[in-house]
Amino acid sequence: MNYHTFQPHPDLEALVKCYWTLEVPAEVDAARQRIIPDGCIEMAFILGEDVKRYTTEINFIIQPRAMVLGQITSPFFIQPAGYVNTFAIRFYPYGFANFVTTPLKELTDKETPLECLFGHQIANELELKIIRARDTSERIDIIEDFLLRTLNSRITIDRIVKTTIDTLLSTNGNLSINNIVKGSKGMRRQLERNFSRQIGISPKQLGKVIRLQAALKMLLNEKPEKFTEIAYASEFYDQAHFIRDFKEFTGTTPTAFTLHENLTLSSQLYRAD
């Protein structure tokens, strides 16, 4: 499995977290891979074989080959049909809203074909350029040109939305939304509405994802001997609270996450992020 990340142009670094590529040789009966929420929105181009996303234990859809994966609120499984070759853009939580007028709540928990967001001609031309590009460097040049031309100067992320996200990120999700809005019910209602439109999930959901992502990185990178160390560092009430939230977030236990083959991809993505 070859996974690499690349930094964006300075003019986009406030909105784009990174570009990434993933290549995996074809395998017979490749294991399903569990994808978990990370608080970001992805634009992805599938350059290899098709990828299935399971909607139930046995039913699946084929992911669009040029798509935006909105905020996800629960884990799901994907499975490649063969050789994996993907080029993608990972946006910060408030990043993607600067390029579309569609309320991001409409993109939550699903894949949206690019043509639904940018129109058939623009999306088709972009996809063809990405497919025909000689290498990753050229693909980054193509997507950055597209993003800079598409950047909607009329769309401005609400100040309290950005401030809230910056605070959640800087505290690893450990500051409550009530503390951020200083107990103002009116400000909290406004924040909820703006998050729905510009982020796709509620501020409380995003805070929970950010905190659990921080705990996940600690689990993968530092390998603490006891889960109580992670629970304490991440400000969970206790180990039981951490394990309960971790299972809700990932669909499995911390121990299984580090060992099970269907978590190989997620472990690679979130360890390196």
CA distance 247 to 203: 20
- Indicate the range of 123-137, 148-162, 200-214 predicted with least confidence: 148-162
Band (45; pLDDT cuts 50, 70, 90): very high
> In terms of CATH, what superfamily is 2-150?
Jelly Rolls (2.60.120.10)
pLDDT band at 175 (very low <50, low <70, confident <90, very high): confident
- Comparing 2 with 184, the larger pLDDT belongs to 2
The SS3 of residue 68 is strand
Res. 185: pLDDT tops 70: yes
pLDDT attached to residue 223: 65
**What residues does each domain of the chain span?**
2-150
| Closest by Cα among 100, 92, 199 to 150 | 100
pLDDT greater than 80 at residue 53: yes
- pLDDT value at position 142? 98
Averaged pLDDT, 15-35: 91
Q: 253 or 264: which carries more pLDDT confidence? A: 253
pLDDT reported for residue 141: 98
* pLDDT-wise least confident of 5-19, 22-36, 99-113, 151-165: 151-165
Tokens 């990828």 correspond to: 51
- pLDDT over threshold 60, residue 154: no
How distant, in Å, are the alpha carbons of 46, 68, 88, 124, 185 from that of 121?
18, 17, 20, 5, 44
Give this prediction's pTM. Answer: 0.89
Residues 223-239 have a mean pLDDT of 75
